[in-house]
Amino acid sequence: MSDFIMRPALFACACIGLLSTPAVAAAHEHPMLRICIDVTCTFAHSLDLDDLEEMEQASFATSTIWTEGTIEFQGVPLRALLDHADFTSGTLELIAANDYHVEIPVDEARDSPALIAYRMNGKLMSTRDKGPLWLVYPFDSDAKFQSEIYYSKSIWQIDHIKLLSE
Ligand SMILES: Nc1nc2c(c(=O)[nH]1)N[C@H]1C(S)=C(S)[C@@H](COP(=O)(O)O)O[C@H]1N2
Ligand SMILES: [Mo]
């Protein structure tokens, strides 16, 4: 094959490669979640999408008071994150991009069915969609989750998670 034919062919391949994976490529450039134990979270352990996908995965379908219809959420169980970070006691503080924050004791998190979700119906979540990370409970599975207690724990746009020691 002549150079004349080869070059456009290679160029086309490169373009298709770039166009088909923009969301994933963008996600890899930035950490999705920082985990830390220091007050200012300066010395954080950063996780990107690849790291999260290599951890234990879980999913469930549920409706939420903030969305329409039944949604399939996929992500990392809150409990698996504890194991990953080796947090055995204390309290987790989850902090959102808008500075909203919630505290969840490690003992509670260990038994929690909550998911740090990063996909909704198979798609990564934009900031507008409460992404990139949203702590969700299987609201439809038990009426107890349909309460202000669990709604207020359902923090979206999670930016970092800090361990507060006792
Ligand atoms: N990032 C973020 N998550 C959040 C909040 C928030 O302000 N920011 N509000 C919480 C509270 S207190 C409740 S009750 C629910 C419902 O919030 P809404 O009243 O805006 O629907 O979301 C929770 N998650
Ligand atoms: Mo609330």
Distance (angstroms) between ligand 2 centre and the Cα of 66 equals: 12
Per DSSP bridges, beta strands 58-62 and 101-105 are unpaired
Are 163 and 137 a contacting pair, CB within 8 Å?
A: no
Q: In the chain, pLDDT over 90 holds for what percent of residues?
A: 80
Distance CA 122, CA 38 (A): 34
Atom 18 of ligand 1: nearest residue by CA position:
66
- Would you list the DSSP string of 9-41? HHHHHHHHHHHH-HHHHHHHHS-SEEEE-STT-
Which one has a higher pLDDT value, 6 or 117? 117
Distance (angstroms) between ligand 1 centre and the Cα of 24 equals: 27
- Nearest atom (ligand 1) to Cα of 130: 1
What are the tens digits of pLDDT across the range 54-68? Answer: 999 999 999 999 999
Distance CA 118, CA 51 (A): 12
What are the tens digits of pLDDT across the range 129-138? Answer: 999 999 999 9
- Which domains, from first to last, does the chain contain? 28-163 (3.90.420.10)
Count of CB atoms situated within 10 Å of the CB of 70:
11
pLDDT of residue 46 exceeding 60, the answer is: yes
What are the tens digits of pLDDT across the range 6-39? Answer: 444 444 444 444 444 444 444 445 689 999 999 9
Candidate of 102, 129, 151, 159 to mutate for ligand 1, largest count of ligand atoms within 8 Å of Cβ: 151
Once rounded to an integer, what is the mean pLDDT over residues 107-134? 97
Residue-level pLDDT at 25: 44
Distance (angstroms) between ligand 1 centre and the Cα of 43 equals: 28
Pocket-forming residues, ligand 1, beta carbon under 6 Å: 66, 96, 98, 100, 148, 151-152, 154-157
Atom 11 of ligand 1: nearest residue by CA position:
152
Read off the pLDDT band of 99 (50, 70, 90). Answer: confident
